[in-house]
Chains A and B, each alone.
Chain A
């Protein structure tokens, strides 16, 4: 009892003696603090990289899309446009050839061209019409068997202008065939659902503790005492792909990514009881990818392609769970995570509308000054993306 009293007196004496003690602080301490505050206030490295990423993605898109557009401009995409560019003489000549294809094209012309224009053109060519009508009658007789041989013979016998007309028709027929073929093989729009896993190893281990490039958030209250065990990142997404030609497509959509790691640390928040032990750190991201695809081989049952991708992601969840107590603390994380990637892919057609695809790729994640995660630890990662694609 007496001993306890002595102990309490001793404790009280020590507390009163030391709790308000003060010591002189050398000036260098404030200078060091000032420089740390200045460093924290400076724009983050990740921000500058973000603009580099955007510029690189834009440049990549321009390099791929512009040459492709120039090639397409040499030949109008659909038949109507091609006819509209044809000369009036060709149109009149087409009328004089009584083939089913000509009738079809003629009908389109009548729908598109003002009647006055047609009349005018007919008058302008009145001098030659009678002669052509005669030739056409002969043609009608000779083309009755409708064989390829007789058509060629007729073509040879026709005057130069009429030969040109027939050639034009054949050209149109070819174009029409191409278009039908194109419609069969090129899908204008497709939608996809996908999932992907990324990471260089199944259970990556990273260096411990927050680095200077990842300024503190809750990290101020958490001290990492061990290396982190990173889980493989998982992503799920959906989106659309727009086919600019039979070779080229661009795509966008929305992705949800889940990152997780665990480490041993001390959580000691201000005004709360400190906790030590295993801590799980979970982060969720929502992202908008922009992709470019280029078909290398388009076979009957599958196609093989290369693709490039840029993505902007925003952290929508960031939480630390103390396993010992089950306590979870979370906070908002600002800043955009940019990434660029490229890879190859193969799509197997399961049916006319449905395909399954596999896209292995490599991707670089720029520093976003977010809390430590597998992307900040290993910014260059391999991804394995697979999903279903619905073609419309």
Chain B
């Protein structure tokens, strides 16, 4: 699939094939800790595509996403000592990229730029959103078009599973603001989908 000039591979045979051949993370981590450049490349190859999609979701544009991917990997390699081996390595790595993206968004102070967005007309009616008609490609594009503050809260809550308390502390806003932004982001996204389908 083609999205924003890049290829998306979702639930494809290729992706399933990759899932079946998961790398031995502990061995890779151990080698990377010793500065083994080959192991670092192997770890990069195993994670980069998925983490790039994460970065794109948060940053909304390719250039910023590439920057976050670079910074995230440099951080990842320097923080491997703190990985205890317990839990999913991929999940641990994903948090690094999410945090790196959050830092960048906060630095740009874009998270507060969504307050004046009028979402009243997006409030959904009591009927299901026709999601079965929308493709992943289209869905990603619509999320990337959300205002940064909406998009960030939406990603953190819906995809990463943060609580509103955690989001509020991370972004320096109140829990009420986090709830409000999520609701408005959801409504805006549903409205866009309904409008199109």
Residues of A at under 8 Å CB distance from B? 2-3, 6-7, 9-11, 13-15, 17-26, 28-30, 32-34, 36-37, 40-41, 216, 220-221, 223, 225, 266, 268-271, 273-277, 324
User: Which chain B residues border A37 with CB–CB below 8 Å?
Assistant: 37, 40, 74, 77
A-contact 0/1 string along B140-153, CB 8 Å cutoff: 10010000000000
| With A33-B73, A216-B78 as contacts: A6 and B169 at CB distance below 8 Å | no
Determine the distance from Cα of A266 to Cα of B168 in the docked complex, in whole angstroms.
12
User: Which chain A residues border B31 with CB–CB below 8 Å?
Assistant: none
User: Which chain B residues border A266 with CB–CB below 8 Å?
Assistant: 102-103, 106, 170, 172
Query: Judging by beta carbons under 8 Å apart, are A32 and B70 in contact?
Result: yes
Query: Judging by beta carbons under 8 Å apart, are B136 and A11 in contact?
Result: no
Closest chain-A Cβ to B74's Cβ sits at a distance in Å of 5
- Residue B44 lies at the interface, judged by CB distance under 8 Å to chain A: yes
Closest chain-A Cβ to B161's Cβ sits at a distance in Å of 8
Of the A-B pairs whose beta carbons lie under 8 Å apart in the complex, a sample of 10, sorted by A's number, is: A10-B186, A10-B190, A18-B53, A18-B140, A21-B10, A24-B49, A25-B69, A30-B41, A37-B40, A270-B96
| With A14-B158, A20-B50 as contacts: A274 and B166 at CB distance below 8 Å | yes
Query: Judging by beta carbons under 8 Å apart, are A273 and B48 in contact?
Result: no
Closest chain-A Cβ to B47's Cβ sits at a distance in Å of 10
Determine the distance from Cα of A137 to Cα of B28 in the docked complex, in whole angstroms.
103
User: Which chain A residues border B70 with CB–CB below 8 Å?
Assistant: 29, 32-33, 36
Of the candidates B8, B9, B170, which one forms a contact with A274 in the assembled complex, judged by CB atoms under 8 Å apart?
B170
User: Which chain B residues border A270 with CB–CB below 8 Å?
Assistant: 79, 82, 92, 95-96, 99
Closest chain-B Cβ to A268's Cβ sits at a distance in Å of 4
Closest chain-B Cβ to A240's Cβ sits at a distance in Å of 41
| With A17-B136, A25-B49, A216-B75 as contacts: A41 and B35 at CB distance below 8 Å | yes
- Closest-by-CB residue of A relative to B154 is A14
User: Which chain A residues border B3 with CB–CB below 8 Å?
Assistant: 23
Of the candidates A3, A7, A11, A20, which one forms a contact with B10 in the assembled complex, judged by CB atoms under 8 Å apart?
A20
Of the candidates A10, A21, A273, A276, which one forms a contact with B53 in the assembled complex, judged by CB atoms under 8 Å apart?
A21
User: Which chain A residues border B172 with CB–CB below 8 Å?
Assistant: 266, 276-277
Residues of B at under 8 Å CB distance from A? 3, 6-11, 15, 35, 37, 40-41, 44, 48-50, 52-53, 56-57, 66, 69-70, 73-75, 77-79, 82, 92, 95-96, 99, 102-103, 106-107, 124, 126-129, 131, 136, 139-140, 143, 158-159, 165-166, 169-172, 186, 189-190
Query: Judging by beta carbons under 8 Å apart, are B106 and A225 in contact?
Result: yes
- Closest-by-CB residue of B relative to A325 is B169
| With A270-B96, A276-B169 as contacts: A220 and B78 at CB distance below 8 Å | yes
User: Which chain B residues border A30 with CB–CB below 8 Å?
Assistant: 41, 44, 48
- Closest-by-CB residue of A relative to B131 is A13
| With A15-B159, A18-B143, A270-B79 as contacts: A24 and B99 at CB distance below 8 Å | no
Determine the distance from Cα of A13 to Cα of B171 in the docked complex, in whole angstroms.
25
Closest chain-B Cβ to A4's Cβ sits at a distance in Å of 10
12 other contacts beyond A223-B107, A270-B96, A276-B169, with CB at 8 A cut-off?
A3-B126, A6-B127, A9-B128, A14-B159, A22-B50, A24-B52, A29-B48, A36-B74, A266-B103, A266-B172, A274-B99, A274-B166
Residues of B contacting A: mostly: helix
| With A10-B131, A13-B131, A223-B107 as contacts: A276 and B171 at CB distance below 8 Å | yes
Determine the distance from Cα of A266 to Cα of B167 in the docked complex, in whole angstroms.
12
Determine the distance from Cα of A122 to Cα of B75 in the docked complex, in whole angstroms.
88
Determine the distance from Cα of A36 to Cα of B66 in the docked complex, in whole angstroms.
14
Closest chain-A Cβ to B120's Cβ sits at a distance in Å of 17
Query: Judging by beta carbons under 8 Å apart, are A6 and B126 in contact?
Result: yes
- Closest-by-CB residue of A relative to B94 is A19
Determine the distance from Cα of A26 to Cα of B53 in the docked complex, in whole angstroms.
13
User: Which chain A residues border B92 with CB–CB below 8 Å?
Assistant: 270-271
Q: Which 8 A-B pairs have the closest CB atoms?
A: A274-B170, A223-B103, A276-B172, A22-B49, A268-B99, A21-B53, A23-B53, A23-B52
User: Which chain A residues border B171 with CB–CB below 8 Å?
Assistant: 276
User: Which chain A residues border B128 with CB–CB below 8 Å?
Assistant: 6, 9-10
User: Which chain B residues border A41 with CB–CB below 8 Å?
Assistant: 35
User: Which chain B residues border A223 with CB–CB below 8 Å?
Assistant: 103, 106-107
User: Which chain B residues border A271 with CB–CB below 8 Å?
Assistant: 92, 95
Determine the distance from Cα of A270 to Cα of B87 in the docked complex, in whole angstroms.
13
Query: Judging by beta carbons under 8 Å apart, are A23 and B99 in contact?
Result: no
